[in-house]
Amino acid sequence: MSQALDVVTFGEAMLLLVTDRPGPIEDAEALYKRTAGAETNVAIGLARLGFKVGWASRLGTDSMGRYLLKAMQREGIDCSHVVCDPAQRTGFQFKGRVTDGSDPPVEYHRKGSAASQMTVADIDVPWLQSARHLHATGVFAAISDSCREAALATMTLMREAGRTVSFDPNLRPTLWATPELMRDSINRMATHAHWVLPGLEEGRFLTGEQTPEGIARFYRERGAELVVVKLGPDGAYFDGEWGNEEASGYAPAFPVDKVIDTVGAGDGFAVGIITALLEGLPVAQAVRRAAWIGARAVQVLGDTEGLPTRAQLAEAGL
């Protein structure tokens, strides 16, 4: 069995092609190559802060798959449970650029990808439970029925083993058959998580509650120990018990002079929460770290360039 890990995550990595100019994707003359994937963004952020991270997935053996595998290995991530299948293809996506701080246009090409073929059989239970924490997102669950089963199984296995589990709903409506299936599946997964990290609009859709307090209460009544509701430029609301601490309140956002790209901000936020809580820091301090990393993420072109090193975190006093 591999060396014990701090955190494990399951999910799809995609090749990301970012346009060279604002405007419609089809008007771009050149594209910048990057990595993409909610779970891999978090894995990279955790690894840069010195955590031992394992990532399980499937890739094709095409050039995109080879690029992604090398990129993850360079970050020091344990990729021993990434299957490279010559019979499958790697998913990719195009991302446009905007100048007004809004969400950029994104076009996915992932249907039938190698990662979507993952099943419960891909879970190596001893490897999974060698970690003290699992980070899960709604994206992995959305890409196929078998992935949804695998995602729920990993969360159940870790919670039953006494490990901690964080969950970012990360809604991707275009990947789900119906909004109702998305809502029901995401809320079912959330009942297996200790820390639930919805955005405000996500939380409104999922719970029917309109306020951060109401959203947090919804998930706490269903088993979450801590809920952090992301409020974008307004910061975050947190409510829960962790360790010997019970805390609730609002945390301000960090000011950003210019928003370059909003994609990846939620993943950066998750990195801050997970690392701080696993280090034993108070909840309010964890949310502050999360807000700082999220603010860094929106100021860069790709999904991971803003994720800090331990030295940068220390320099910021976080």
Measuring CA to CA, which residue among 183, 169, 195 is closest to residue 276?
Answer: 195
Measuring CA to CA, which residue among 14, 7, 121 is closest to residue 55?
Answer: 7
Q: Give the C-alpha separation, 91 to 143, whole Å.
A: 11
The two structure tokens encoding residue 206? 């999922």
Q: Give the C-alpha separation, 92 to 140, whole Å.
A: 15
State the pairing for strand pair 7-10/133-137. parallel
> How many other CB atoms are there within 10 angstroms of residue 156's CB atom?
14
Torsion angles phi and psi, residue 42, rounded to 5: -65, -45
Q: Give the C-alpha separation, 232 to 158, whole Å.
A: 30
Sign of CA dihedral 202, 117, 158, 243: negative
Unique residue bearing structure tokens 């018990």: 241
Q: Give the C-alpha separation, 259 to 252, whole Å.
A: 17
Is the distance from CB of 95 to CB of 69 less than 8 angstroms? no
Catalytic residue check, 303: no
Identify the active-site residue in 78, 122, 168, 267.
267
Torsion angles phi and psi, residue 251, rounded to 5: -120, 135
Buried-exposed string 119-135: b where 16+ CB fall within 10 A, e elsewhere:
eeebbbeebbbbbbbbb
Residue 22's DSSP bridge partners are 97
Measuring CA to CA, which residue among 207, 197, 198 is closest to residue 277?
Answer: 197
The two structure tokens encoding residue 181? 């299936």
- Residues marked as catalytic: 267
